[in-house]
């Protein structure tokens, strides 16, 4: 199966009420664990590379992601997560990514539109869909549902129209990493967004959201869900469970790979990700 784009894996999800997981990784072992899970279930996947310190080694990771996608028997989207600049997006495009997220959500609305439009203009000639974020999905450790930058549904409709993006990351009470307190999803905001925006919607900060909320969120029209922290915590649990004296690079590698695989499998089932 060849490398896929968001346009090939997400619209069916929204129409048929299932989601495709977008799993971040920061080393090859984590990536292999994710790929093990999608091979076993024969389901599409969005393999996410975060813009951060890993970008220094993009020239090593990009070929590895592309090779994993080409080897896979399922559609694999090779995606930049939270691109911070036009330059980062350009570098990933040139490295062969099939999908780009630009995150200018900390900027004022007009600036977010301007930057996002630039990235869409860069990607369009190569038929590469773009994800962008409106409202702001902050960090779980700062989480406060009463003081939160929700996506404004009317602004969201205007943003999609003005930028030409293919997927919209929404802030509906979700946050990255481990949540301080319990996540509180604002369903009224999500409902209004789904009424006004027809492109696929993305939920960041999926780790720690209860299963019942996920089911509801997906039925309402979210078709891409980003997960990293839960995979990392599962791997850490497995590392700690290694018997004293048996911890070495091989057992550690196996703990990380199997941890990422196990938690990805669980999410695929929960999201009811369908084979294409």
Footprint of Zn ion on this chain (CB under 5 A)?
Answer: 204
| Residue, CB closest to Zn ion | 204
Query: Catalytic annotation on 81?
Result: yes
The minimum distance between CB 171 and Zn ion, in angstroms, equals 10
Please identify which of the residues 24, 51, 81, 103 carries the catalytic annotation.
81
Of the pair 10, 72, the CB lying nearest Zn ion is at 10
Report the DSSP beta bridge partners of residue 227.
23
The minimum distance between CB 22 and Zn ion, in angstroms, equals 9
The minimum distance between CB 36 and Zn ion, in angstroms, equals 23
The minimum distance between CB 168 and Zn ion, in angstroms, equals 13
Using an 8 Å Cβ cutoff, are 107 and 143 in contact? no
Using an 8 Å Cβ cutoff, are 83 and 101 in contact? yes
Give the CA dihedral 217, 171, 143, 176, nearest 10 degrees. 80
Of the pair 200, 255, the CB lying nearest Zn ion is at 200
Of the pair 5, 105, the CB lying nearest Zn ion is at 105
Alpha helices in the chain (DSSP H): 6-16, 28-41, 58-71, 86-94, 109-123, 153-163, 187-196, 211-220, 229-241, 249-271
Of the pair 173, 274, the CB lying nearest Zn ion is at 173
Q: Which residues contact 248 (CB under 8 A, 6 or more apart)?
A: none
Kindly state the greatest CA–CA separation across the chain: 59
Tell me which residues are annotated as active site. Answer: 81
């Amino acid at each position: 199966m060849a490398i896929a784009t968001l346009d090939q894996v997400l619209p069916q999800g929204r129409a048929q009420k299932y989601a495709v997981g977008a799993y971040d990784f920061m080393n090859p072992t984590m990536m292999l664990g994710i790929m093990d899970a999608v091979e076993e279930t024969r389901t599409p996947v969005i393999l996410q590379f975060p813009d951060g310190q890993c970008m220094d080694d993009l020239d090593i990771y990009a070929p590895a992601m592309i090779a994993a996608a080409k080897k896979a028997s399922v559609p694999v989207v090779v995606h930049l997560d939270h691109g911070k600049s036009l330059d980062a997006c350009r570098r990933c495009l040139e490295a062969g990514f099939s999908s780009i997220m630009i995150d200018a959500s900390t900027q004022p609305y007009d600036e977010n539109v301007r930057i996002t439009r630039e990235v869409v203009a860069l990607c369009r000639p190569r038929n590469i869909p773009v994800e962008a974020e409106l409202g702001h999905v902050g960090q779980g450790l700062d989480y406060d549902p009463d003081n939160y930058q929700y996506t404004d549904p009317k602004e969201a409709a205007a943003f999609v129209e003005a930028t030409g993006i293919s997927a919209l990351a929404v802030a509906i009470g979700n946050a990255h990493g481990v949540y301080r307190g319990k996540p509180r999803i604002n369903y009224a905001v999500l409902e209004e967004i789904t009424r006004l925006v027809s492109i696929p919607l993305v939920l960041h900060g999926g780790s720690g959201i209860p299963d019942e909320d996920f089911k509801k969120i997906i039925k309402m029209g979210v078709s891409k869900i980003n997960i990293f922290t839960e995979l990392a915590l599962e791997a850490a649990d497995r590392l700690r469970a290694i018997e004293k004296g048996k911890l070495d690079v091989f057992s550690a590698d196996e703990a990380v790979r199997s941890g990422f695989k196990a938690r990805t499998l669980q999410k695929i089932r929960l999201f009811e990700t369908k084979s294409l």
